[in-house]
Chain A
Amino acid sequence: MATIQLMDDRDLVHLYQSGDQTAINELIRRYKQKIFSTIYFLVRNREQAEDLFQEAFIKIITSLRKNHYNEQGKFLPWALRIAHNLVIDHFRKEKLMPMQRDTDDFSVIDILPQRSRNAVEQIEYDEKIGMVRELLEKLPYEQREVVILRHYAGLSFKEISKMLNINLNTALGRMHYAIIKMREMIQKEKIPLRE
């Protein structure tokens, strides 16, 4: 039998549904970065992002246990749809339209990662995430959403268009405007680029 790290998503789902707990551990390990980054950059608050991330995974696990998963092995787009719907519900509950949020509420505390780093590494890490967050903050929500789903979630433009119910050219067009705007911001604010 293949080691669990080599198994594809569909086999992991079947394994979990047959009662093997290690399969869900592997799915979380495999996708926590993509799903968490996506939620985090949409809600822009670490605490809320962690709550939504937990809620999303509990929903995912419950659906898997009830055999409600039927996505022909496309676990990530399915999981991201669950996470994305929770984010939308969150904005509705908070009566916040994401594009209307104040950008002055940025706090380094919001972005503190939990992995152990020394003080200098920690500051550098915070600065980098803070800069990216500032870039994304200044995009209109619809453009930001496409960038996050493409870049952090790893969905294809086609999958994004399906998930957001827009056509492919609209998804690509939003990415186009977002890239232009981010490039302008990088130049205007002299944000350092990686060598």
Chain B
Amino acid sequence: MDHTTTREMQDLFRYAYNETGLKDSDRIQRKIDGDPLVASEYREVIEVINKLDEGICMPSDEVVNRILDKAAEISKG
């Protein structure tokens, strides 16, 4: 990531996570489409993000049920 500026990288993260408004999104997408280096950086960001998606995990049903029982108890109390 030697030639992409810090600002451009930060734009790519915000864009990848849908944090940019319409105007910025358009500007960033044009940059991605028009600059192979930026396109390559963006692809790498997305690859890492996709990899992180595989780590999403859930609590056990037991712990959720314990919380619901406790909530019911608090509501009564």
Chain A residues within CB distance 8 Å of chain B: 19, 21, 24-25, 28, 32-33, 36-37, 40-41, 49-50, 53-54, 57-58, 61-62, 65, 111, 113-115, 128-129, 131-133, 135-136, 147, 150-152, 156-158, 169, 172-173, 175-176, 179-180, 182-183, 186, 191, 193-194
Contact residues in A for B67 (Cβ distance below 8 Å): 28, 54, 57-58, 61
Q: How does the 8 Å CB contact mask read for B26-57 relative to A, with 1 for contact and 0 for none?
A: 00000000000000000011011111111111
Among residues 53 to 75 in chain B, which have CB atoms less than 8 Å away from a CB atom of chain A?
A: 53-64, 66-68, 70-72, 74-75
A37:B9 contact, CB within 8 angstroms: no
Which chain B residues have a beta carbon within 8 Å of chain A's beta carbons?
Answer: 1, 6, 9-10, 13-14, 17, 19, 44-45, 47-64, 66-68, 70-72, 74-75
Tell me if B58 and A36 are in contact (CB < 8 A): yes
Q: How far is the CB of B38 from chain A (nearest CB, A)?
A: 14
A132 — nearest CB in chain B belongs to which residue? Answer: B55
A33-B58, A36-B57, A176-B13 known; A54+B48 contact, CB < 8 A: no
Partner of A113, one of B44, B52, B58: B58
**Contact residues in B for A193 (Cβ distance below 8 Å):** 47, 50-51
Contact B74 A65 (CB under 8 A): yes
In the complex, the answer to whether A61 meets B74 with C-beta atoms within 8 Å is yes
Which chain B residues lie closer than 8 Å to A132 at the CB level?
Answer: 51-52, 54-55
A122 to chain B, nearest CB (A): 13
Task: Report whether B61 and A114 are in contact in the complex, using a CB–CB cutoff of 8 Å.
Answer: yes
16 residue pairs from A and B, CB less than 8 Å apart: A24-B68, A53-B63, A115-B58, A129-B54, A129-B57, A132-B54, A135-B52, A152-B56, A172-B13, A173-B6, A176-B6, A176-B9, A179-B13, A183-B44, A193-B47, A194-B54
| A37 touching B56, Cβ below 8 Å | yes
B54 and A128 within 8 A (CB): yes
Question: In chain A, what residue has the closest Cβ to B77?
Answer: A65
B50 touches A180 (CB 8 A): no
Q: In the complex, A108 Cα to B72 Cα: how many Å?
A: 34
Q: Once the chains are docked, how many angstroms separate the CA of A110 from the CA of B22?
A: 42
Task: Report B5 CB to chain A, min CB distance, Å.
Answer: 11
Q: What residues on A are CB-neighbors of B9 within 8 Å?
A: 176
User: Contact: B75 with A19, CB < 8 Å?
Assistant: yes
Chain A residues near B17 (CB-CB < 8 A): 150, 156-157
Distance in Å: Cβ of B14 to nearest Cβ of chain A: 7
